[in-house]
Structures are given as structure tokens and as C-alpha cells.
Amino acid sequence: MIERTKTIIANVTVVAVVIVALIWGDSWYRQRTLFLRGEADLSAGKAMAAIADYEAAIHMYTPASTLVDESAQRLWGLGESFEQAGDAARALIAYRALRSSFYAVRWFLQPGKEWIARCDGKIAEILQRQGYRQP
């Protein structure tokens, strides 16, 4: 009876590990696909499409993936570029996309806290320059 219980526990553990690995692998593959699409859109001058791709790549959060941080850096860079060009509306879109993508991700801890704080500061700064007052 004890041997049978050990076998069942071992089989359940193996199945659980395989399922988690498959889910992680699928998420990573999608994240990579979206990131590469963002890179292609950015190279083609389609900045708004690239923002959507990078945002979606962060939504496919996988622990230990460098693509999350690279996507965040691309979004931040797009926001800064729009800001320097005087396009506050598109800068806000990029910063808000970055912030909301990390808010949408849940893990054991909230990932991207630093990015969220940086975006909050930039968004408030842009809105203040435009004459908006926060309640």
C-alpha cells in the first residue's frame, strides 16, 4: 500500500512539473514572438504597433526572461523619443502601456515596481506640463 502511494505521488509530481514546464515554455515562446514583432515594427517605423507588441510581450511574463526587461526598455525609450519630439500624447501612450503591462502581470511578487514608479513620475510630469492637475 505504501509503495503504491509513493508511486502515485511520484507520478503526480512528474505530471505537475511537465505541465508547469509546458506552460512556461509556451509563455516564453509567445513573449519572444511578440518581442521580435515589436523589433520588426520599430525598424519599419511603426512605433504605435511596436508599443502594442512590447506591451503584449510583458503580459507574457515568464520569470528569468530577459525579454521582459528588454521590452520595458524599448517602451521607455519610445516614450522618451516621443517626449523629445514634443509628442506628449504618444509619450503618454508609451509610458502608460509600460506601467499597465506590469500592473497586469501577477506573480508571487509584483514584478516591475521600479518601472511602475518611473512611469508614474513621467506621466505626472507630462500631465503637469500640459496643465492638468491631479485631484
pTM of the complete model:
0.85
Q: pLDDT band for position 131 (50/70/90)?
A: confident
Residue 135 has pLDDT above 60, yes or no: no
Cα(123)–Cα(82) distance, rounded to whole angstroms?
13
Q: What percent of the chain has pLDDT over 90?
A: 79
Query: What is each CA distance from 49 to 92, 110, 126, in whole angstroms?
Result: 15, 26, 22
* 35, 65 Cβ separation under 8 angstroms: no
Q: Which of 71, 111, 78 is nearest to 95 (CA)?
A: 78
